[in-house]
Copies of this chain bind each other. A is one copy, B any other.
Amino acid sequence: MRTALIVIDMINTYEHEDAERLLPSVRETLPGMLRALERARADTSDVEVIYVNDNFGRWRSHHDEILRTALDGPHADLVEPLRPDDSSLFVVKARHSIFYETPLEYLLGQHGIRRIVLCGQVTEQCVLYSALDAHIRHLDVTVPRDAVAHIHPDLADAALRMMERNMGARVTESAADDLFD
């Protein structure tokens, strides 16, 4: 059973509503995301890295343009360290869940991936919804709690408990030995 690390919505200009509430949490969890990313990219790893990112309604855009726009924005320091490399896969989404009207499920099936590790933002929104949609599809889900950023701490806490209790997700840390197992 192969594993993928999914990086959710981190190619971002942070111009949306609630960005001010989100940014401190992004800064706090960036090291956890980087740790997960480095571990997934290590030579000894068989973990696929897949970026699933909102296209912000820009149907003319491809991912280079989404990335460039984010790197030209005021929060490039939060985007640059997480930028996709040549081995990253990239899926554009239009709505909240990483599965809704995207080819992600097909892509995972083609790569023999049955376990996904979710990092990125927002814990109580896209991360929660994606964990649910993965659970419904009988995929294994792991969420490193120090690698997901939130807007509302109490809703994020409830979201993590929902994932753990009702969606069979494993909530752990980005440094956990068995993060990708």
Residue positions of A touching B, CB distance < 8 A: 57, 59-60, 62-65, 86-97, 100-103, 105-107, 109-110, 124-125, 128-129, 132, 135-136, 138, 152, 154-155, 158-159, 161-162, 165-166
Which residues on B sit within 8 Å (CB–CB) of A62? 62-65, 90
In the complex, the answer to whether B90 meets A59 with C-beta atoms within 8 Å is yes
Which residues on B sit within 8 Å (CB–CB) of A59? 89-91, 107
CB A148 to nearest CB in B, in angstroms, measures 15
Which residues on B sit within 8 Å (CB–CB) of A166? 124-125, 155
Which residues on B sit within 8 Å (CB–CB) of A95? 106, 136
Given contacts A162-B124, A166-B124, contact A106 B101 (CB under 8 A): yes
Which residues on B sit within 8 Å (CB–CB) of A63? 62
Of A65, A105, A132, A152, most B-chain CB atoms within 10 Å: A132
Name the CB-closest residue of B to A57: B110
Name the CB-closest residue of B to A50: B59
